[in-house]
């Protein structure tokens, strides 16, 4: 029998609450009871709709990724200039707000959980495919219009930029970056991207 479905608002509220609990307690220590307490529902309700703790965590990580990707697509769609469009996608990956590492803390929990859980690990393919596609499309469009002169295929450039973004965020989280500010990470990413794409920047 198919599992009952929540409406979009209810599901979003539960998954956002799950992300908040993961950020506070860590993925390994997040229990259904913790999420149920946060949303004022019973553990049985969560099991009814999501099946298990691991399925709830996977859905929460997917929700976090999808909401970021939707915001990146929406922002990029409003920008005609290829370089500005690419920067908007890179900025969305870095995140925003006064504490830009808060969301990355959740992703660190995701990576840690994936190292232990093969089912969650399989989700990483979807997560990174989403961002590789967004970056690859922006790079390919810039190449098509002549705005970019990439030194490597768009897919390779996208993979390199994602790896750089992850590394910068991890160093900021661990406190080993020479400058932990988001502006510093953004500046580094843009310089590397410009080098890969043959873009002259001020």
* pLDDT digits 0-9 by tens, 112-123: 888 888 878 888
Q: Which of 98, 36, 106, 35 is CA-nearest to residue 64?
A: 106
Query: What's domain 8-197's architecture?
Result: Orthogonal Bundle (1.10)
Q: Where are the domains of the chain?
A: 8-197
pTM of the entire structure? Answer: 0.83
Task: List the chain residues with pLDDT less than 50.
Answer: 202
CB-CB contact of 4 with 49 (8 Å) = yes
CB 79 within 8 A of CB 144: no
pLDDT digits (tens, 9 = 90+) for 30-44: 999 999 999 998 999
């Amino acid at each position: 029998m198919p599992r009952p479905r929540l409406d979009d608002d209810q599901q979003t509220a539960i998954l956002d609450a799950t992300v908040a609990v993961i950020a506070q307690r860590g993925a390994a220590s997040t229990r259904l009871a913790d999420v149920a307490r946060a949303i004022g529902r019973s553990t049985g309700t969560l099991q009814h709709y999501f099946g298990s703790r691991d399925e709830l965590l996977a859905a929460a990580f997917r929700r976090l990724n999808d909401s970021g990707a939707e915001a990146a697509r929406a922002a990029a769609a409003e920008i005609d200039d290829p370089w500005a469009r690419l920067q908007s996608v890179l900025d969305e990956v870095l995140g925003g707000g006064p504490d830009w590492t808060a969301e990355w803390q959740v992703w660190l929990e995701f990576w840690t959980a994936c190292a232990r859980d093969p089912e969650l690990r399989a989700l990483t393919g979807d997560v990174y495919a989403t961002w590789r596609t967004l970056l690859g499309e922006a790079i390919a469009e810039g190449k098509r219009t002549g705005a970019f002169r990439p030194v490597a295929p768009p897919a390779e450039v996208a993979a390199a930029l994602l790896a750089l973004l992850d590394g910068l965020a991890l160093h900021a989280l661990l406190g080993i970056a020479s400058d932990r500010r988001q502006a510093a990470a953004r500046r580094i990413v843009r310089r590397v991207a410009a080098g890969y794409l043959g873009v002259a920047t001020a």
